[in-house]
Amino acid sequence: MPANLRPDKNPMPSQPPAQRAHNFDEVALGYDEAAALDEAARCLHCANMPCVSGCPVNVHIPAFIEQVRSGDFEAAYQIITQSSSLPAVCGRVCPQENQCEARCVRGKKGEPVGIGRLERFVADWHNQFSAAAPVRPAPNGHRVAVVGSGPSGLTCAGDLAKKGYAVTVFEALHLAGGVLVYGIPEFRLPKRIVQQEVDSLRQLGVDVQTNVVIGKTMTIDELFEQGYEAVFIGSGAGLPNFMGIPGESLKGVYSANEFLTRSNLMKAYRADAATPIWKGGRVVVVGGGNVAMDAARTALRLGGQVSVVYRRSMEELPARREEVEHAMEEGVEFHLLNNPVRILGYQNPDDPRDPKNGCVKAVECIRMELGEPDEKGRRRPVEIPGSEFVMQADVVIIAIGTSPNPLIKNTTAGLEVNRRGGIIVQEDTGATSRSGVYAGGDAVTGAATVILAMGAGKTAAKAIDQALMG
């Protein structure tokens, strides 16, 4: 059968923007079988497989696509899970355009093969139609503890469990999944998908203990005392950064972490939710990353009129292009080359008991222009003197990144961190300065992507296996 030489990917069926702007259902609906078969036929099966080297966990991409093309979707799934513990998640949230698809030969003339869309199709097909429970490997007698149940922790746990390790995952929150459940919204990654992935790990024998804060409920040292022979720390990005401008403690100012946690983990978007969130009004989101896009699109769905304020231009905006386009289609406005200088509050001069007192009223911004490139090559934004202006606002969401959480560092003697607080590791093993302790994901790198965290979990699992089995 000849390859399909059409230059474009099969489009992703999606909810129309006007409809999805008012609900929390998933935006992208996924390929049907016909689209998947057609897209799989676009793969040229290059001998040197550039796509595989573009994947942080090296999924055998041409091999799984070949199985899709032949219609054996379960076989395709089994190929993906050899490398990835979370295929239904990766198919949705990986930035494929910078990874596997960026290296696809088809991308040189036209669009690359829709690798992410095919991965998602295969994982969803498996979750819907396959009854095959993962086979529990024979125990090898070794115990490993994993701190945090986000992408890096789940990957590390999954890889070790497949090799026969008894793995316990400790999660601080009441639900496993880390950023996949508290951070990424339902409309990008339905929570039932995350729970299915966690359930598959449980079927593999992984023990997930929620409500345990390592550094508080138990320390790393106590884990070793309890007989764990190695510990992987995947505790995530941690504390939200604020701008340090006046007005950040006014009522109506949220960190993106808080806003998203209320909506995603605590389901505050539901009418019957027990956890409150401010809905509607004029919302200003500060920042230009994926988290800012998630916060903006969540606020929009809660009935807000949403503006994103970012201090550089569209070219430097770090969020995935697809997320920015989705946000624009849905009606999020972008105010680029602007930076907030203070948040203004409401104060009724005649009534000190006015409930609106202390609430956000507006954000004062200053216009920026791009100056000389900084050490990373990004052009530095510079304030234009005298260009201040005021934007009306009821809610302000600060999405300018996070700093590592010090809970584990402060309770683990000898665990070295860099000057930003990230845990220092050897890149090829994930080993920290403490013997038997490994780390990966945002706790090491600061806020990054799901797939990079998974790559780090995978690297550490391999190193732990080598250290314990020799």
248 binds another protein (CB under 8 A): yes
Give the one residue of 113, 123, 172, 397 binding another protein; rule: CB under 8 A. Answer: 172
Give the one residue of 192, 406, 414, 424 binding another protein; rule: CB under 8 A. Answer: 406
Q: How many CB atoms lie within 10 A of CB 435?
A: 10
Cβ proximity to another protein, 45 vs 174, nearer residue: 174
Cβ proximity to another protein, 59 vs 172, nearer residue: 172
Which span sits near another protein by CB under 8 A: 72-80, 91-99, 258-266, 299-307? 258-266
Q: Which residue has the tokens 């602007």?
A: 338
Q: How far is the CB of 267 from another protein (least distance, A)?
A: 7
Which span sits near another protein by CB under 8 A: 15-23, 196-204, 327-335, 405-413? 405-413
Cβ proximity to another protein, 255 vs 412, nearer residue: 255
Q: How many CB atoms lie within 10 A of CB 298?
A: 28
Give CA–CA dist 291/240, Å, rounded.
11
Tokens of 357: 């007192």
Interface pattern 259-298 for another protein (x via CB under 8 A): --xx---xx-----xxxx-x--------------------
Cβ proximity to another protein, 249 vs 435, nearer residue: 249
Give CA–CA dist 422/403, Å, rounded.
8
Give the one residue of 22, 216, 321, 378 binding another protein; rule: CB under 8 A. Answer: 216
Give CA–CA dist 406/383, Å, rounded.
33
Q: Which of 126, 129, 130, 125 shows the shortest CA–CA distance to 30?
A: 125
Give CA–CA dist 146/322, Å, rounded.
33
Q: How far is the CB of 248 from another protein (least distance, A)?
A: 7
Give CA–CA dist 254/422, Å, rounded.
24
- Cβ atoms of 236 and 442 within 8 Å: the answer is yes
Give the one residue of 97, 258, 316, 364 binding another protein; rule: CB under 8 A. Answer: 258
Give CA–CA dist 414/287, Å, rounded.
35
Give the one residue of 24, 165, 228, 254 binding another protein; rule: CB under 8 A. Answer: 254
Number of amino acids touching another protein (CB under 8 A): 41
Q: How far is the CB of 131 from another protein (least distance, A)?
A: 27
348 binds another protein (CB under 8 A): no
Q: Which residue has the tokens 């995952």?
A: 169
341 binds another protein (CB under 8 A): no
210 binds another protein (CB under 8 A): yes
Tokens of 40: 């799989």
Which span sits near another protein by CB under 8 A: 4-12, 82-90, 253-261, 363-371? 253-261
Which span sits near another protein by CB under 8 A: 22-30, 212-220, 300-308, 438-446? 212-220
The helix (H) or strand (E) run that includes residue 312 is none
Using CB under 8 A as the binding rule, the residues of this chain from 358 to 387 that contact another protein are 358
130 binds another protein (CB under 8 A): no
Which span sits near another protein by CB under 8 A: 120-128, 245-253, 281-289, 295-303? 245-253
DSSP-assigned beta bridge partners for residue 367: 338
Cβ proximity to another protein, 196 vs 405, nearer residue: 405
Give CA–CA dist 363/391, Å, rounded.
5
- Cβ atoms of 24 and 187 within 8 Å: the answer is yes
Q: Which residue has the tokens 């966990």?
A: 57
- Cβ atoms of 432 and 133 within 8 Å: the answer is no
Give CA–CA dist 257/388, Å, rounded.
28
Q: Rounded to an integer, what is the distance from CA 42 to the centroid of its chain? A: 29
Q: Is 360 helix (H, G, I), strand (E, B) or coil?
A: strand
97 binds another protein (CB under 8 A): no
Residues lying near another protein in the complex (CB under 8 A) are found at 172-174, 182, 210-213, 216-218, 236, 238-240, 242, 244, 248-252, 254-255, 257-258, 261-262, 266-267, 273-276, 278, 355, 357-358, 405-407
